[in-house]
Amino acid sequence: MGRLYNVLKHVVHPFLRVKNIAYAEPLGDEPVVFLANHLGALGPMYMAVTFPLRDRVAIWCNEGMMDEKLVVEYVRHDWWWKPESRLAPLYSATIPYVARAIVPKVLRSAPTIPVYRDARVMSTMRASLKALKEGKHLVIFPELPDGFDSHAEQLQMGWLNLTAMYYKATGKRLKLVPVHIDEKTRFFRVGEAITADPDLPLKEQEAAIERYLAAGLRGQATPTD
């Protein structure tokens, strides 16, 4: 972790509301993958700054936010403001450039793993596997933006291949743990872990795993089917 991140986390820590944690079951000593709700920019900030296990996590971060050459267009297309807002033209002309000056430096200083959407995706997976083998937890925000302050019903699930990679490398099942960041009660609500069956194709399990995690990270009742 870099000096910039260490300085900023102490600056913003007092202003973040969610600091308590409630576990549905003991977490154990093995590394896990936490799947958390995004809450705009706040979800990653909470997981990096106030989450009690923050010193043992590596956080997935879209490469578009970590590269000064990409961040302007990324911000303009990532629903940071309502497109129909009267001030949208002003926001588009200012906010992305402020973000370019600040955000990539902070994110590169933080415990992040760049997430690529092209042929470099395997570098994301290899870095993630390395972090897990070193005993770190991964934090992934799998919700897919679907408009301002809105997300698609289904989660992004490309990361699920990590479970097969981890099992092949260690002989252990990788625990997948939903986290609902609850600003109303100011708690991280950590759900029960689920694992993929290494003896079955991932595609046959993906839908059930996705439903379980989606319910957990959104603070809903766990599906029974």
Asked, for residue 128, whether it belongs to a domain, the answer is: yes
Asked, for residue 188, whether it belongs to a domain, the answer is: yes
Using the 8-state DSSP alphabet, how is residue 2 labeled? -
Q: Cβ distance 33 to 159 under 8 Å?
A: yes
Asked, for residue 162, whether it belongs to a domain, the answer is: yes
Burial class (CB in 10 A: 0-12, 13-18, 19+), 221: exposed
> Which range of residues forms the domain containing residue 156?
3-217
Asked, for residue 71, whether it belongs to a domain, the answer is: yes
- Here the tokens at position 183 are 């600003």
Q: Cβ distance 86 to 221 under 8 Å?
A: no
Asked, for residue 223, whether it belongs to a domain, the answer is: no
Asked, for residue 224, whether it belongs to a domain, the answer is: no
Q: Cβ distance 215 to 208 under 8 Å?
A: no
What does each of the 225 residues of the chain score in pLDDT, given as a tens digit?
A: 678 888 888 899 999 999 999 999 999 999 999 999 998 888 999 999 999 999 999 999 999 999 999 999 988 887 777 888 899 899 899 999 999 999 999 999 999 999 998 889 999 999 999 999 999 999 999 998 766 566 667 899 999 999 999 999 999 999 999 999 999 999 999 999 999 999 999 999 999 999 999 999 999 865 443
Overall number of domains in the chain: 1
CATH number (domain holding residue 172): 3.40.1130
Burial class (CB in 10 A: 0-12, 13-18, 19+), 209: buried
Distance, CA of 156 to CA of 154 (rounded, Å):
7
